[in-house]
Amino acid sequence: MAGKIVIFDTTLRDGEQAPGASLSEQEKLEIAGQLVRLGVDVIEAGFPISSPGDFNSVQRIARKVKGATICGLARSLTKDIDAAAAALKPAARQRIHVFLATSKVHMQFKLKKAESEILKIAREAVVYARNFTDDIQFSPEDASRTEPEFLFRVLETVIRAGATTVNIPDTVGYAQPDEFGALIKAITENVPNINKAVIAVHCHNDLGLAVANSLAAIKNGARQVECTINGIGERAGNAAMEEIVLSLLTRKDSFPRITTGIKTKEIYKTSRLVSKLTGFVVAPNKSVVGANAFRHESGIHQDGVLKKRQTYEIIRPEDVGVQAEGMVLGKHSGRHALTERLKRLGFQLSSAQMDKAFKRFKELADKKKEVFEEDLMAIVEEQIKGLPQIWSLDGFEFCGGSSVVPSATVSLKKKNRAYRATSFGDGPVDACYKAIEKVTKLKASLSDYTIQAITSGKDALGEVGLKLMIKKQEISGRAASTDIIEASVKAYLNAVNRYLLQTENRKQVSL
């Protein structure tokens, strides 16, 4: 077993399809840039035909992001392929990803097509896509439930038509590792021209087997894996990229001479960025990037780690970008010290961004005795996320107690004009949210609300993540502060600004 595994990241396409994970164009661009720094080979930037916003995002990434192949998804329809080609045109390296369902259940109930028709449509789609680029990927959707003999014929047909990558999706997470590995092996043995294409896999996590199935596929000849950061995606999500890469690195005995181009020290930062911008909190027990992944509470474990780290850790935290020792800065620290520390953490800030980050750092240092690296990462992520502030917080006051009906007064700014409203609620957070509704005149219901401490101690920086339902659309928001009420208010405004920005973009497209 030997070879380089192509890492195909679909965080911006399949990952964003997860309900509530909608991203703005600027946020997608920011994630794409970080994916390049991480070292992914292919970025599936979106599904251009699906919406004007998705088309614009793919086109913007194709124009500005260098260092990776930019891919766009398309059904086996000329209009889809045209849209993908147009969006991808500015990219130095572009790939069109064409898909068509091939399982009996999909052909009978969704497409209402016979096998002969599927073969014809697939061949014609690939031939047509070749008019725009030589890098064509074809996916027989629901391949793991497709009759093997028919799947072999489909793959042979599309490779003959010009597909250079054939992707085998476990679309509904149905496969088991042994049978999925056997399917990949069977493809290598039964598709006559398979040597002319790269075998890829795209595994879903409905039964919690996406990573296991991907690794089984690699052992049997797959040389590209489709995955997402933190495993986000449709339903139960996709194969988590960080888990696949660390499995290959950690178990070289099982995967001899298998390599990837991933710079693992960028993994933790990438995970945090995707979590922050999508609003999807990473579970504490999530492997590789979870908050508890490198923490030990058991006395037996602590004793073992102190004597020899490898007794209970098979991955070094610093190898994935988690700082083993927290570095402390305080209110007396200067701009130079902060700049150097941020450089070590891998952040590249413009002069304007650094000005904002330093101001925010000083504000936080006045509230906290110690500012840790986790605090710094939260500060910088807050400054560089790039979401325009349509409404910004000018100030707030609240009153409450066991014998007092909670009330809050919130002051907001919009285009340098101040607005103020007072409201009552079930608690200070609810009262603040109702006051914001009065000011913005935007009715919203809270569908999810979470609080987590970024650092330890009584003065820990707290991060609030929430989801709002606004006109049947779920929008996420997130913010951090040592004051949890302030973080709650800013997270709410973050979601409101996301919604208004998306609405404005749709208006501009329709004009």
pLDDT in tens, 485-494: 999 999 999 8
Are 53 and 160 in the same domain? yes
Helix or strand run (H / E) with residue 408: strand 404-414
Q: Specify whether 19 is located in the same domain as 64.
A: yes
Instruction: Kindly state whether residues 245 and 186 are assigned to the same domain.
Output: yes
Closest CA to 27 of 289, 353, 273: 273
The residue among 50, 12, 13 whose CA lies nearest residue 34 is 12
Q: Domain containing 32 — which CATH number? A: 3.20.20.70
Q: Looking at 10-75, which runs of residues are DSSP E strands?
A: 42-46, 69-75
- Provide the 8-state DSSP code for 395: E
For 208, the 3-state DSSP assignment is: coil
Is the model's pLDDT at 510 over the cut of 60? no
Q: Are residues 51 and 197 in the same domain?
A: yes
When pLDDT is cut at 50, 70 and 90, the band that residue 400 belongs to is confident
| Side chain identity at residue 389, one-letter code | Q
CA 259 to centroid of chain Cα atoms:
23
Q: What is the tens place of the pLDDT at every residue in 14-65? A: 999 887 777 889 899 999 999 999 999 999 999 999 999 899 999 999 999 9
- Flag whether 340 is in a domain: no
Query: Is 104 in the same domain as 56?
Result: yes
User: How far, CA to CA in Å, does 252 sit from each of 2, 256, 418, 425, 481?
Assistant: 11, 5, 60, 57, 42
Q: What's the half-sphere exposure (Cβ side, CA atoms, 13 Å) at 137?
A: 28
186 domain-assigned: yes
Let me know if residue 196 belongs to a domain.
yes
Q: What local confidence, expressed as pLDDT, does residue 377 receive?
A: 73
Burial of 362 (0-12, 13-18, 19+ CB in 10 A): middle
Alpha-carbon gap, residue 367 to 459, rounded angstroms:
8
What's the CA angle centered on 450, arms 447 and 455, to 5 degrees? 165
Q: Say yes or no: 274 and 304 in one domain.
A: no
Report the distance separating Cα 121 and Cα 99, nearest Å.
10
Pair (316, 419) in one structural domain = no
Domain count across the chain: 3
- Please check the confidence at residue 407 and state whether its pLDDT lies above 90: yes
What are the angstrom distances between the C-alpha of 462 and each of 22, 105, 254, 263, 498? 23, 48, 41, 29, 21
Assess contact for 276 and 480: CB atoms under 8 A.
no
Q: Is residue 188 part of a domain?
A: yes
What are the tokens at 83?
């849209």
Is residue 284 included in any domain, yes or no? Answer: no
Pair (303, 188) in one structural domain = no
**Amino acid at site 181:** G
How far apart (Å, rounded) are the C-alpha atoms in residues 74 and 46? 9
Element (H, E) at 481: strand 473-481
Mean pLDDT within 104-133? 95
What is the CATH classification number for the domain harbouring 474?
3.30.160.270
pLDDT in tens, 140-189: 999 999 999 999 999 999 999 999 999 999 999 999 999 999 999 999 99
What range does the domain containing 206 cover?
A: 3-278
- Mean pLDDT for the chain overall: 89
Please state which of the ranges 173-182, 365-374, 441-450 shows the lowest mean pLDDT.
365-374
453 and 306 in a common domain: no
Q: In degrees rounded to 5, what are phi and psi of residue 432? A: -60, -45
